């Protein structure tokens, strides 16, 4: 702060002291320097003449007073804004301070007192009971006079620390040497009602004391100067329009701040929804309770250390959090290390997108538990009814009318928009724009058609402000040039004078002007919309208005973008892409400008990647990036930069990532050099490509690509670079996972085994780095083993994986929770397959709990995990005889959400979840709903692209078979048989390629046989059942004991149908084998079916039945078959 032009000498009869201009007319001084009712004068450094003042405030219990300069000759210094009041909220540091006053010791021969520049430190922790500051003077102290005090005349001098006035000198501290002074803190002045009223009258806003220690972190607590800018009345920080309609949300936020819950909230909602206004109201109420509230600066901040040491509760608000993830990261880390009074972080963003996911992943090692508790809420529309919108419009009209100059206030009431039922008026900002435009058109109309949008009307009024403000600066250019300059400055911003001038140099209409004209234009814009964040200038706000202006300028001349981007820095370019993407959400034609922009400026493509994660609606930007990637021969360096920038876990850019890695792998493959380092790079590219292919459901393609990567690494053998062992292990693991997902679990086993061996060896040397990899590999191995019906081995593998994850969680909480959830999910499935249903439910419940915890704070990254765990958990519940419908229905909903952004990868999962849901619906008697779920699942499978559908044919066949069963239960036998026939056809083709599908083929044939029997087609039923029995016989030989229960049931079914064909001897043989093969600990259903069929056969053909039975069992047919079971 420049303080010399604020320092004044206070003269009051025989008394004298010092003072400080806190506004352009108010002087702060010590109360004991002046007296009510007596003439007083001040003398400034710039004007040696005495100026008459009046006493306007007299502190009741504090040694402070305010004087107002009333002398007609007083001319305030240009640009003298009200001071920023400051307070100290830490006890860790001594705070540097300074003061300039007119002490007796500086009295000159002519009787005038000169200035003394005092420097020292405020001793925090000293004088706590007294409530006043103790200053240790380091700049030297005067001698003690014979009469009076050494510092006489210094009383009233403002104590300044940085940019804040924190107090005023009151007295010398008793019983200390001359180097100790006592000061009144301004925090003792500000609560005084008279002081507050006077300050509010003078400045238009209540006095606020800001933390000196946190000053570098936050923007000043000042309302924007309204000047003559209509748009400034709509800015949230202006607080012109009353706060309304969010009392519930405000109470929730106040309760959060004052409670003991999570330290952070993320509040999302579209632009104009009222996030910032709500946050400002929250901050205002908290300040009244003694909280420090900070609106975090957008510029670079040197240190966040002061946040850790506050002795008062602090709220940090981060607006546009999606574009400021590095700052948010630093604030979170400071909060984790904080141990004092409440520190609350309120992040405001347009959406909870992939940016949030990436931030959580980055911070997991250091702040995982802190982020686990973060609340994420979306601000709903404010006014849903026409009546509510009408009231909101009238409130805005009244408040905005009062804020206009009296000559521009219409006397009569004005009607609201005629189309208040339109959805756009859900936004409070849209209603306020309409109100302000309506007001201005009554008092200062602009010449526009009556049907013009309110934004257009308001921009025309704003243009008057631009033109008027340009004149004093000598900016004499065409109005369209001014429009373009405003659009450019709002679109690109400028952090420095250099960036500002470079941008103006590229604006047509200014580029050919003398340098002096551009300097004047830069000054004009800086003062037109001043920045509160140390930028060279601000932008046209609110955002909605600025974006509307940018759109209309670009419609007039879209070609100007090229010249503007040519001169922009990387930060300006990224800011511009962000604004263009944001604008395209409500101005479609702006989105069409993005593809040619990226094609012309290749370096913009990687800059655009993080904006996709930040954007509420990134569709236009994703289209532009896709066109760039598909353009003829995009530069390899640009492709590599794009690939590096794409996050690992992304739904929005999943398909684009595939295309990028295809191009990069192809480019590396075409290079003639085949050195080990080059081959490692190629293998890495193929591995990345394989993972990206798997992310969109192309598992077979992923396995082929990963296989090639492994072959290339194996070919190098001992020539592999040092870090390639880790790469090879990852490739092996990924290859196994892709083969498994592609329905080739037997082929995956060898890769699994090798990957596990590699990870075990590396974990022995570096457990923290490789134990998570080992657990992941074991979990995948368990899945493959289960698909191959190796139940015991699968159970052991996933139990080891869970044990490893629990060890990791115990030593490093929160870092690999997703891995634990996946391992628990697999373990639950294995327990259920082994008949341990209650244990499976317990494990599944824990998996859902962990997945839900992750998803609540990082939805985009973990919603798939939650859906999967819910889907499996519902199956465990149903098998255990518990209520399972809610979990199954939620899984379907979540999979549908995933499919909206990545249909290739997630529509098959929707189908699978629907098939699962059908089973749950059927179990509670909701058969029609179950039928509809199965039918929708089949429709989804049939409409998948061929390359995707191929990987899900086994599930499609199973779903068709289940559909047949459901139709049969609803007495639609013909349709039931047709569904089962289609299932058998699919499974025959699959089993011909892989024996792993034989068991499913047998099951489908069994269902088909039952449906044919219902239709009376008994001979066809016998054919299908016989084929099924033959498959089970082969499986029983390969894996004794694994299929005995199913085998027994199939034999019972075949025997029953053979009875219907009157082949009683064959039926008796088949039924006897069914009874013999039935597991002793199994249910009686298969035996009961066989006995009933034997009774029918015996009733029709006793001799044939008896001989058939004896041929198989070697025993006589049991007497009294109807009375007791053989």
For the residues 990-1004, what does the mean pLDDT come to?
A: 83
Return phi, psi of residue 10, to 5°: -100, 130
Q: Which of 46-60, 295-309, 491-505 has the lowest mean pLDDT?
A: 295-309
pLDDT computed for residue 1125 by the predictor: 40
Any alpha helices (H) in 169-220, and if so which ranges? 193-203
Q: Which CATH number fits domain 7-209: 3.40.50.300, 3.30.365.10, 2.40.10.120, 3.30.230.10?
A: 2.40.10.120
Give the domain 214-251+261-378 fold. Answer: Rossmann fold (3.40.50)
pLDDT in tens, 449-478: 988 999 999 999 999 888 888 888 888 888
Whole-number Å distance between alpha carbons of 591 and 730: 39
- Environment class of 1115 (CB within 10 Å of its CB; exposed 0-12, middle 13-18, buried 19+): exposed
| Residue 940's pLDDT band (cuts 50, 70, 90) | very high
Number of H helices, E strands in the chain: 41, 19
What would the DSSP string read from start to end of 1065-1103? HHHHHHHHHHHHHS-TTS-SHHHHHHHHHHHHHHHH-HH
- Confidence check: pLDDT of 226 > 70: no
% residues pLDDT > 90 (the chain): 39
Residue 127 has pLDDT above 70, yes or no: yes
Instruction: Label residue 148 by pLDDT band (50, 70, 90).
Output: low
Residues in CB range of 837: below 8 A, 6 or more apart: 831, 876, 879, 880
- SS3 at position 1054: helix
| 141 preceded by a cis bond (ω within 30 of 0) | no
**How many angstroms separate the CA atoms of 76 and 817, rounded?**
63
Q: In the structure, what pLDDT confidence band is assigned to residue 147 with cuts at 50, 70 and 90?
A: low
Residue 739 has pLDDT above 70, yes or no: yes
Strands 314-318 and 292-295: parallel
- Residue 796 CA to residue 781 CA, distance in Å, equals 10
Q: What confidence score (pLDDT) does residue 227 get?
A: 58
| 454-470 helix and 543-556 helix, angle to the nearest 10 degrees | 80
* 565-623 pLDDT per residue, tens: 999 999 999 999 999 999 998 888 999 999 999 999 999 999 999 888 888 788 899 99
- Minimum mean pLDDT range among 359-368, 660-669, 689-698, 727-736: 359-368
What is the pLDDT, as a whole number, of residue 722? 55
State percent of the chain over pLDDT 70.
Answer: 95
pLDDT score of 433: 94
Q: Which residues of 308-340 are buried (b: 16+ CB within 10 A; e: fewer)?
A: bbbbebbbbbbbbbbbbbebbbbbbbbbbebeb
* DSSP structural state of residue 661: H
Does residue 721 carry a pLDDT above 70?
no
- pLDDT of the residue at 1088: 81
pLDDT tier for residue 1087 given thresholds of 50, 70 and 90: confident
Please, which residues have CB within 8 angstroms of residue 158's CB and are 6 or more apart in sequence?
Answer: 3, 6, 19, 20, 22, 28, 83, 99, 165, 167, 168
User: Which residues sit opposite 292 in a β-bridge?
Assistant: 314
pLDDT higher than 80, residue 406: no
Q: How confident is the model at residue 978 (pLDDT cuts 50, 70, 90)?
A: very high
Q: Which of the four pLDDT bands, split at 50, 70 and 90, describes residue 778?
A: very high
pLDDT tier at 720, thresholds 50, 70, 90: low
Is the pLDDT confidence value at 223 over 70?
no
**Among 386-395, 442-451, 715-724, where is mean pLDDT lowest?**
715-724
For all residues of the chain together, what is the average pLDDT? 87
Phi-psi label, residue 1087: left if phi above 0, alpha if psi -120 to 50, beta otherwise: alpha
Per-residue pLDDT, 1122: 44
- pLDDT category of residue 857 using cuts at 50, 70 and 90: low
CATH fold match for the domains 7-209 and 672-809? no
pLDDT confidence bin for 121, thresholds 50/70/90: very high
Is residue 220 within 8 A of residue 237, CB to CB? The reply is no
pLDDT digits (tens, 9 = 90+) for 864-901: 888 889 988 998 988 888 888 888 889 898 888 888 77
Q: What is the pLDDT of residues 412-438, one digit of tens each?
A: 778 889 889 998 888 899 999 999 999
Least confident of 191-200, 382-391, 399-408: 399-408
Residue 97 has a pLDDT of: 95
Q: Is the pLDDT of residue 492 over 90?
A: yes
Confidence at residue 812, expressed as pLDDT on a 0 to 100 scale: 80
pLDDT tens track for 682-692: 899 999 999 99
Interval 914-943 mean pLDDT: 90
Residues 6+ apart with CB under 8 A from 707: 735
Separation between Cα atoms, residue 919 and residue 933, nearest integer Å: 9
**Lowest mean per-residue pLDDT among 22-36, 528-542, 572-586, 765-779:** 528-542
Which tokens belong to 743? 């329905």
Higher pLDDT, 176 or 858: 176
The residue with greater pLDDT, 283 or 857, is 283
Overall average pLDDT of the 10-24 stretch: 91
Where do the structural domains in the chain lie, given as residue ranges? 7-209, 214-251+261-378, 672-809, 816-940, 945-1014, 1016-1126
CATH number of the 816-940 domain: 1.25.40.10
Which residues, in sequence order, are bridge partners of residue 52? 41
3-state class (DSSP) for residue 696:
coil
* pLDDT at res. 859: 64
Class of domain 945-1014: mainly alpha
Q: What is the CATH number of domain 672-809?
A: 1.25.40.10
CA angle 263, 269, 271 (to 5 degrees): 125
pLDDT value of residue 351: 83
Per-residue pLDDT tens digits for 1006-1037: 889 989 999 999 999 999 999 999 998 888 88
Which residues fall within 8 angstroms of residue 213, CB to CB, at 6 or more apart? 88, 89, 90, 93, 95, 306, 309, 310
């Amino acid at each position: 702060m420049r303080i010399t032009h604020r320092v004044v000498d206070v003269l009051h009869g025989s008394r004298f002291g010092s003072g400080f201009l806190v506004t352009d007319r108010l002087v702060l001084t010590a109360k004991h320097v002046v007296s009510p009712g007596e003439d007083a004068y001040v003398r400034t450094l710039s004007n040696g003449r005495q100026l008459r003042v009046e006493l306007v405030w007299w502190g009741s219990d504090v040694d402070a007073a305010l004087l107002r300069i009333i002398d007609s000759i007083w001319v305030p210094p240009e640009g003298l804004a009200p001071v920023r009041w400051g307070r100290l909220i830490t006890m860790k540091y001594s705070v540097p301070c300074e003061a300039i006053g007119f002490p007796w010791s500086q009295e000159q021969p002519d009787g005038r007192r000169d200035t003394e520049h005092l420097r020292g430190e405020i001793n925090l922790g000293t004088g706590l009971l007294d409530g006043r500051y103790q200053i240790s003077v380091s700049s030297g102290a005067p001698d003690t006079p014979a009469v009076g005090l050494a510092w006489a005349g210094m009383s009233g001098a403002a104590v300044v620390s940085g940019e804040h006035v924190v107090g005023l000198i009151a007295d010398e501290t008793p019983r200390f040497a001359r180097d100790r002074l006592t000061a009144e803190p301004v925090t003792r002045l500000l609560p005084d009602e008279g002081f507050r009223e006077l300050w509010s009258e003078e400045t238009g806003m209540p006095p606020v004391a800001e933390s000196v220690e946190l000053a570098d972190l936050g923007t000043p607590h000042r309302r924007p100067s309204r000047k003559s800018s209509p748009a400034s009345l709509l800015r949230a920080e202006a607080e012109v329009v009353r706060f309304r309609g969010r009392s519930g949300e405000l109470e929730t936020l106040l309760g959060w701040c004052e409670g003991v819950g999570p330290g952070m909230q993320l509040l999302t909602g579209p632009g104009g929804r009222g996030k910032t206004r709500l946050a400002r109201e929250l901050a205002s109420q908290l300040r009244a309770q003694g909280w420090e509230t900070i609106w975090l600066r957008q510029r670079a901040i040197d240190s966040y250390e002061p946040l850790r040491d506050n002795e008062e509760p602090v709220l940090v608000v981060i607006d546009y959090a999606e574009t400021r993830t590095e700052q948010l990261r630093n604030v979170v880390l400071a909060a984790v290390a904080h141990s004092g009074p409440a520190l609350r972080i309120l992040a405001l963003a347009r959406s909870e997108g992939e940016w949030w996911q990436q931030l959580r992943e980055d911070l997991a090692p250091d702040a995982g538990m802190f982020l686990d508790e973060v609340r994420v809420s979306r601000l709903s529309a404010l006014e849903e009814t026409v009546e509510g919108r009408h009231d909101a419009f009238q409130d805005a009209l009244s408040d905005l009318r009062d804020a206009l100059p009296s000559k521009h206030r219409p006397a009569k009431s004005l009607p609201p928009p005629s189309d208040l039922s339109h959805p756009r008026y859900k936004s409070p900002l849209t209603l306020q724009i309409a109100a302000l435009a309506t007001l201005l058109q009554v008092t200062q109309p602009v010449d526009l058609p009556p049907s013009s949008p309110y934004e257009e009307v308001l921009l025309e009024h704003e243009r008057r402000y631009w033109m008027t403000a340009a004149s004093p600066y000598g900016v004499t250019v065409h109005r369209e040039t001014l429009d373009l300059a405003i659009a450019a400055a709002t679109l690109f911003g400028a952090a420095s004078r250099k960036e500002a001038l470079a941008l103006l140099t590229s604006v047509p209409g200014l580029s050919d002007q003398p340098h002096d004209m551009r300097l004047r234009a830069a000054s004009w814009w800086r003062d037109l919309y001043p920045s509160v964040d140390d930028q060279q200038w601000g932008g046209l706000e609110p955002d909605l208005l600025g974006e509307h202006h940018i759109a209309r300028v670009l419609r007039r001349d879209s070609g100007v973008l090229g010249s503007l981007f040519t001169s922009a820095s990387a930060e300006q370019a990224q800011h511009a892409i962000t604004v263009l993407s944001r604008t395209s959400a409500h101005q479609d034609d702006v989105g069409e400008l993005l593809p040619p922009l990226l094609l012309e400026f290749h370096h913009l493509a990687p800059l655009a990647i993080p904006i996709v994660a930040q954007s509420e609606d990134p569709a236009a930007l994703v289209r532009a990036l896709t066109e760039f990637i598909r353009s003829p021969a995009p530069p390899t360096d640009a492709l590599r930069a794009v690939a590096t920038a794409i996050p690992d876990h992304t739904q929005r850019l999943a398909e684009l990532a595939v295309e990028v890695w295809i191009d990069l792998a192809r480019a590396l493959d075409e290079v003639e050099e085949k050195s080990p380092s080059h081959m490692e790079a190629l293998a890495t590219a193929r591995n990345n490509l394989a993972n990206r292919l798997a992310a969109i459901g192309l598992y077979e393609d992923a396995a082929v690509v990963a296989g090639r990567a492994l072959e290339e690494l194996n070919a190098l053998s001992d020539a592999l670079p040092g870090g390639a062992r880790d790469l090879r292990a990852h490739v092996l693991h990924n290859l196994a996972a892709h083969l498994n997902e592609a329905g080739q679990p037997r082929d995956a086993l060898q890769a699994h085994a090798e990957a596990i061996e590699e990870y075990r060896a590396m974990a022995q040397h570096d457990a923290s780095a490789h134990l998570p990899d080992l657990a992941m590999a074991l979990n995948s191995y368990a899945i493959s083993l289960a698909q191959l019906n190796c139940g015991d081995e699968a159970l052991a593998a996933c139990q080891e994986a869970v044990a490893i994850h629990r060890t990791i969680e115990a030593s490093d909480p929160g870092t690999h929770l997703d891995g634990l959830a996946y391992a628990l999910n697999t373990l639950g499935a294995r327990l259920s397959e082994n008949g341990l249903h209650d244990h499976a439910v317990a494990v599944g419940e824990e998996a859902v709990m962990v997945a839900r915890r992750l998803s609540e704070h990082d939805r985009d990254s973990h919603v798939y995990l939650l859906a999967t765990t819910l889907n499996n958990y519902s199956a465990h519940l149903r098998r255990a005889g518990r209520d399972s419908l809610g979990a199954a229905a939620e899984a379907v909903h979540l999979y549908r959400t995933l499919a909206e952004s990545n249909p290739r990868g997630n529509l098959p999962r929707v189908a699978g979840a629907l098939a699962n849901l059908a089973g749950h619906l059927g179990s509670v008697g909701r058969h029609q709903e179950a039928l509809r779920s199965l039918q929708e699942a089949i429709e989804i499978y049939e409409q998948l692209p061929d390359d995707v559908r191929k990987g899900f044919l086994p599930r499609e066949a199973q779903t068709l078979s289940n559909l047949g069963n459901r139709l049969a239960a609803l007495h639609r036998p013909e349709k039931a048989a047709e569904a089962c026939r289609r299932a058998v056809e699919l499974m025959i083709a699959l089993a011909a390629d892989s024996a792993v599908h034989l068991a499913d083929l047998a099951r489908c044939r069994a269902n088909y046989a039952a449906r044919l029997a219902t239709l009376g087609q008994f001979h066809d039923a016998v054919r299908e059942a016989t084929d099924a029995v033959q498959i089970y016989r082969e499986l029983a030989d390969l894996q004794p004991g694994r299929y005995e229960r199913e085998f027994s049931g199939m034999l019972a079914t075949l025997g029953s149908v053979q009875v219907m064909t009157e082949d009683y001897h064959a039926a008796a043989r088949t039924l006897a084998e069914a009874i013999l093969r039935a597991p002793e600990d199994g249910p009686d259903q298969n035996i009961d079916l066989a006995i009933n069929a034997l009774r029918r056969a015996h009733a029709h053909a006793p001799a044939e039945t008896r001989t058939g039975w004896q041929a198989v069992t070697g025993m006589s047919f049991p007497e009294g078959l109807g009375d007791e079971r053989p």
